[in-house]
Chain A
């Protein structure tokens, strides 16, 4: 293999100088490689760390915030949820199937490394225009990769989101989230504490795959990126399944002092992370690392990102029992080194010292860059764009076109490729509701999970859009009756070296932080993915939120489908008319402009309380939040899911109908209820100072909209159901 220069490894001149200063000599090739991956954005968060400090991370429910493999929140009864979301964007752009599959594998390892049984996966995907052949290939490859890996593990993929927009052409986003369940007294942490303890490597053998994957993830995509296919790892879900079962057995028997998965930057990162927690040093001998290829150098072994490997520090005297358990599962565990007391990371190749450097220099020593953000000129220009002069378009056609838009249409083509029921906990299936709902066996409670982000809104107004992403996540949970507990996020942006992009990051994080603070949903884990750019430009800033919440009584869970003829339909929250950033503007007017509807966080918080209270009291028959496509699409989706039409008729008070029907302003939901419950619902709304509007009734075979008695939409449910249901399948034929 041709040697790379430090620049090719992604290091700056001043960073190279800094390494020379730390070592008091020039680094050798191995040391240089180890520094470069640890100091990549992907591992070191060198551009994002100062911004991430703004997130609220604490609360009475938080057992573990950022800093471990995943966040942990208390769900009562001595149980906790362990969860995190992570990106695998660049590998998926080059090799969609393996890139997405190993993205799932990586996040699942983060969860069981903490001693938790993974119980659900979700994802958040972005692709370019679905008319494009390459986009279709990426989309089908990513979905198959996620499905094949998760299905084989037997972890249900219960929810997620998929958006298509030109902004992601060439740079798709693949964010995978995993949620685990653990007893609070069995949570495992990643520290290598006892001096002299052996380091055991278990799982797959080490190959040359994925070398410099972390570096590759921290640069823009270009024509040359295709040549980096060797940086994409290859997944083996069967091996991962064995690792899950074996590692959870070790933790049940309390045999390990520390456990760390091997992800980005492979052995280098997992060893450095384990040692740094307690200020320990490490001695590792690469000649003991089992290989799948011959002739590998120390550099290649230390930087390999071969998947399905775990590092284990046994409790004293437990090596024998650990070996027995691994043997039961047909896995090889090898002692490759030991914990030392001097804080130095020493790499040996047999007897020969191949490299040495302070552990802390690799981890905390990573340089941090506080950059200046600059407001881009598009921001004011698009904000001020005058939407009053938009021509009125045919409203029937607009509704039909929105339901056919891949961003709104049924995602059945996607989720039918994911096993979403294995583990028999899934109590609301994909497509049934705004969030996935899982039971916790043996308990009355349930948990709800969702991922959300509208990248277009964040692009047009990163501050408002960042708030919207958090609000939508929390609102999705509240619609099923779950109280939001905490969130994880995956911050996908372009290059932070571009001051306009840095501004997007600053503003979005500010908005997310404020929303998380007001809604009481701290950020307990996350991942940053920068340099999401191609020659054509940066992606829409896409800070994806993964929200978890809890239902006090799973028996009360609420889906989105209308249930009974004659039920009243109500809007909870205000009639809004802001169209900025809406799917309607894009689909019907070809515009991605306008002022983003302002978020009122206090109102949102009250709405979430209202929804949870209503569902818990059994007052709602269906509930669906208003987001993509606005009020009209929310009603249409509930109608299609329930196979029941509706007649909506209220006074538009002279406001343009397209504004009222298609505004995506947050803080609102559409619900159906039995007429006799209306008074009780009104009372709860009044108590929380929230507006309620009776929109009409469920019933019949058509979707009918009228403005004060004058009908202006009348479309058969079956026709719209077909259009909505088959739109993505038609594209993929």
Chain B
């Protein structure tokens, strides 16, 4: 079971994801430089957070043209497990692997703070080690996490159960006051219709070890590993 962390120029959570997979989850992991053009041999890919290409033009807009992206797309279309965190989520949107777009936070400010997330489904590759409706505490750190899509897309996200995480209160209640960025329908993370590609703004790799103040993020990676193990049987 091998993980790959794609490194774009300006990625800055690449080393964090690598550390968590290798040292905390104890799984094989390698960096994949964005100029490479194959992802052969990997079982799961992570597009990490950061500021690929400085977020110039638009977040993720340049990274999606990196040489590695066609093989990432092929990997995803073939059912490979792919998670985009923060800037990685933004890249997945720009690459068309997930629907919708990101706007600037409604506060117009970068925001770094812990948020609460409701787990809307626990039958996915990314949430199978969590309970349905469980509330997680995970940090966010972004300037553009205000998810937006048209009504039709939102309806299909809802109908297909693609909204995996929503911002909520500590007790699981949804409301704009618990939403750090003004995202549509309190969306914090969505998956594609097949369920093998997840994009989320919060950073599970920042809360996978007790010393960092929380371990809820651990279970997202553990879910991926469990799912890969089940498939492999």
Residues on A lying within 8 angstroms of B by beta carbon are 144, 147-148, 151-154, 236-239, 241-242, 328-330, 415-424, 426-427, 429, 439, 441, 554-555
Contacts and interface: CB of A to CB of B under 8 A. Distances in A.
B16 A422 contact: yes
B112 A241 contact: no
A417 B51 contact: no
B19 interface: yes
| A241, A420, A554 — most chain B CB neighbours (10 Å) | A241
Contact of B212 (A237, A415, A419, A424): A424
Interface stretch (B52-60, B71-79, B155-163, B224-232): B52-60
A148 B144 CA distance: 12
Interface in B199-230: 203, 205-206, 209, 211-213
Given A417-B112, A439-B211, A554-B211, A422 B13 contact: yes
Nearest to B206: A421
A246 B49 CA distance: 20
15 contacts: A151-B141, A151-B143, A152-B55, A154-B12, A154-B13, A241-B9, A241-B12, A417-B111, A421-B206, A422-B13, A422-B49, A422-B206, A423-B16, A424-B212, A426-B212
A427 B13 contact: no
Given A152-B55, A237-B51, A421-B141, A416 B113 contact: yes
B220 to A, nearest CB: 15
B131 interface: no
A422 B10 CA distance: 13
Contacts of A423: 15-16
A148 B104 CA distance: 14
SS of B interface (majority): mixed
Contacts of A236: 54
A241 B10 CA distance: 6
Given A238-B51, A421-B139, 20 more contacts: A151-B141, A154-B50, A237-B51, A238-B10, A242-B10, A330-B9, A417-B110, A418-B112, A419-B110, A420-B112, A421-B141, A422-B16, A424-B19, A424-B205, A424-B206, A427-B211, A427-B212, A429-B213, A441-B19, A441-B23
Contacts of B112: 151, 415-421
* Contact size range, B: 20 to 34
B15 A238 contact: no
Interface in B72-116: 109-113
A416 B55 contact: no
Contacts of B110: 144, 147-148, 151, 417-419
Interface string B1-29: 00000000110110110011001000000
Contacts of B55: 152, 238
| B33, B113, B209 — most chain A CB neighbours (10 Å) | B113
A424 B138 CA distance: 13
Contacts of B53: 238
| A153, A416, A421 — most chain B CB neighbours (10 Å) | A421
In the A-B complex, list the 6 residue pairs whose CB atoms are closest, starting with the nearest: A154-B12, A238-B54, A152-B51, A419-B141, A424-B16, A419-B112
Contacts of A154: 12-13, 50-51
Given A424-B205, A424-B212, A152 B19 contact: no
A607 B129 CA distance: 48
Contacts of A426: 212
Contact of B141 (A144, A328, A422, A554): A422
A328 B35 CA distance: 9
A417 B19 CA distance: 25
B206 A241 contact: no
Nearest to B51: A152
Contacts of A144: 109-110
| B15, B23, B53, B209 — most chain A CB neighbours (10 Å) | B15
B25 to A, nearest CB: 14
Interface in B42-68: 49-51, 53-56
Contacts of A427: 211-213
A29 to B, nearest CB: 36
B12 A153 contact: yes
B111 to A, nearest CB: 6
Contacts of A421: 112, 139, 141, 203, 206, 212
Contacts of B205: 424
| B10, B15, B112 — most chain A CB neighbours (10 Å) | B112
Contacts of A424: 16, 19-20, 205-206, 209, 212
B51 A242 contact: no
A238 B57 CA distance: 13
Nearest to A236: B54
Nearest to A423: B16
Given A417-B111, A554-B211, A152 B10 contact: yes
A151 B109 contact: no
B109 to A, nearest CB: 6
Contacts of A152: 10, 12, 51, 54-55
A339 B55 CA distance: 39
B143 to A, nearest CB: 8
Contacts of B49: 422
Contacts of B211: 427, 439, 554-555
A236 to B, nearest CB: 7
A551 B83 CA distance: 36
B146 to A, nearest CB: 16
Contacts of A147: 110
Contacts of B20: 424
B115 to A, nearest CB: 11
Nearest to B212: A424
A610 B35 CA distance: 55
A471 B134 CA distance: 46
Contacts of B109: 144, 416-417
B144 to A, nearest CB: 12
A241 to B, nearest CB: 6
Nearest to A415: B112
Nearest to B111: A416
| A148, A239, A241, A422 — most chain B CB neighbours (10 Å) | A422
Nearest to B20: A424
Nearest to A239: B54
B215 to A, nearest CB: 12
B14 to A, nearest CB: 9
Contacts of B213: 427, 429
Contacts of B54: 152, 236-239, 241
Contacts of B209: 424
A154 B23 CA distance: 20
Nearest to A143: B109
| A241, A420, A424 — most chain B CB neighbours (10 Å) | A424
A241 B53 CA distance: 10
A429 to B, nearest CB: 7
A163 to B, nearest CB: 22
Contacts of A420: 112
A144 B143 CA distance: 11
Interface in B115-174: 139, 141, 143
B9 A329 contact: yes
Contacts of A239: 54
A619 B228 CA distance: 45
A422 B50 CA distance: 9
